[in-house]
Structure 1
Amino acid sequence: MNAQTRDKRHTAIAAAVEERILGGELPVGEKLPSESELAREFGVSTRTVREAVQILETKGLVRRRHGERTSVVRADVGEFLETLAVTVRQLLRTNPRYLMEVMIVRRMIESDVIDLLLSGGNLDLSKAEAALADMRRAGDMKDYARFTEADAAFHQALVDAAGNGVLSIVYNNLHGLVTEVIRVTSSVPTKSYDAAYAEHVDIYNKIRAGDLDRAKSLMRAHINNSAEYLKVAIEKSKAEDRT
Structure 2
Amino acid sequence: MVIEGAARPADRERLHLSVAEDLENRILNGSLPIGERLPSESAIARDFNVSTRSVREAMQILETKGLVRRKHGERAMIVRDDVAEFLGTLATTVRQLFSTNPDYLVQLMDVRRMIEVEVIGALVARENPITPEIDAAMNKLRETAKAGEFGKFTDCDAAFHRALVQSAGNDVMAVLYNNLYGLITDVIRVTSRVPVKSLDVACAEHERLYELIKNRDEAAAKEAIAAHINNSSAYLQVAIAKAQNKETQE
* TM category, shorter: 0.7 to 0.9
Kindly provide the amino acid, as one letter, of the partner of residue 17 in structure 1: R
Q: How does 1:189-200 map to 2 (within 5 A)?
A: 189-200=195-206
1:63 to partner: Cα distance: 5.8
Residue equivalent to 2:146 = 140
Render the CA deviation track for 1:135-165: whole Å, top value 9, x for unaligned: 2222223222211110000100000110011
Moved more, 123-132 or 211-220: 123-132
Residue equivalent to 1:3 = 10
| Cα distance change, pair 228–113 in 1 and its aligned pair in 2 (3 A) | same
2:27, 2:33 within 8 Å by CA — same for their partners in 1? Answer: no
Residue equivalent to 1:59 = 62
Aligned to 1:210, the other structure's residue is in SS state: coil
Residue equivalent to 2:111 = 105
1:207, 1:215 within 8 Å by CA — same for their partners in 2? Answer: yes
| Cα distance change, pair 31–180 in 1 and its aligned pair in 2 (3 A) | closer
1:187, 1:233 within 8 Å by CA — same for their partners in 2? Answer: yes
Runs of 5+ unmatched residues, structure 1: none
| Cα distance change, pair 73–33 in 1 and its aligned pair in 2 (3 A) | closer
Kindly provide the amino acid, as one letter, of the partner of residue 119 in structure 1: A
Kindly provide the amino acid, as one letter, of the partner of residue 25 in structure 1: P
Q: TM-score, normalised by structure 2?
A: 0.75
Match of 1:74 among 71, 79, 83: 79
* Superposition CA RMSD, Å: 3.8
Match of 1:18 among 27, 42, 45: 27
Runs of 5+ unmatched residues, structure 2: 1-7
Q: TM-score, normalised by structure 1?
A: 0.77
Structure 1 segments, 4+ long, off by >4 Å, are 6-12, 34-40, 48-56, 63-66, 180-187
| Cα distance change, pair 187–93 in 1 and its aligned pair in 2 (3 A) | same
1:124 to partner: Cα distance: 4.2
1:176 to partner: Cα distance: 1.8
Aligned residues with identical type, % of pairs: 43
Residue equivalent to 2:229 = 223
1:181 to partner: Cα distance: 5.8
2:69, 2:78 within 8 Å by CA — same for their partners in 1? Answer: yes
2:176 paired with 1:167: no
**Structure showing the higher helix proportion among its residues:** 1
